[in-house]
Amino acid sequence: MEAYYLEATPKTPRLDFNPDADTFVISGRSIPENSIEFYKPLLDWLENYVSNPKKSIIFEVKLEYFNTSSSKCMVEIFRKFEKIHSAGHELTVEWYYDEEDEDMQESGEDFKDIIKVPFKMIQNKD
């Protein structure tokens, strides 16, 4: 299976999903013109990945900001990871946020409450 990689732009995050790696990463800003269109190829890739995942995966979320439509797509991404976790694979979400960014901290806490996978909140101390 090929890796799914997109470089960040001012409006879209970097997506680094390599099936041979132990860590998947989403980082940057997520305010695309059309979130559903932007995230659909990744969701399709994840749907294929779910059928043959690695035994242990870490999903690092290092977003500076995301809009409401991106948050709906994030839920869909997390749902794919729930399938992997419920199939007996080790999967952890690591949600990074800046010390002074209460909005990103609260967003992470909200996802942590609704997603059924191990979820770590990690504060950046820059």
As a whole number of angstroms, the distance between CA 74 and CA 96 comes to 15
How large is the average pLDDT for residues 5-28? Answer: 96
The structural domains of the chain, with segments of one domain joined by +, span: 4-124
pLDDT at residue 98 tops 90: yes
pLDDT at residue 126 tops 90: no
Topology at the third CATH level for domain 4-124:
Transcription Regulator spoIIAA (3.30.750)
As a whole number of angstroms, the distance between CA 60 and CA 44 comes to 19
Is 55 exposed, middle or buried, given 0-12, 13-18 or 19+ CB atoms closer than 10 A?
exposed
Q: Helix or strand or coil: residue 40?
A: helix
| pTM for the predicted model, two decimal places | 0.94
For the chain, give the mean pLDDT: 95
Band (80; pLDDT cuts 50, 70, 90):
very high
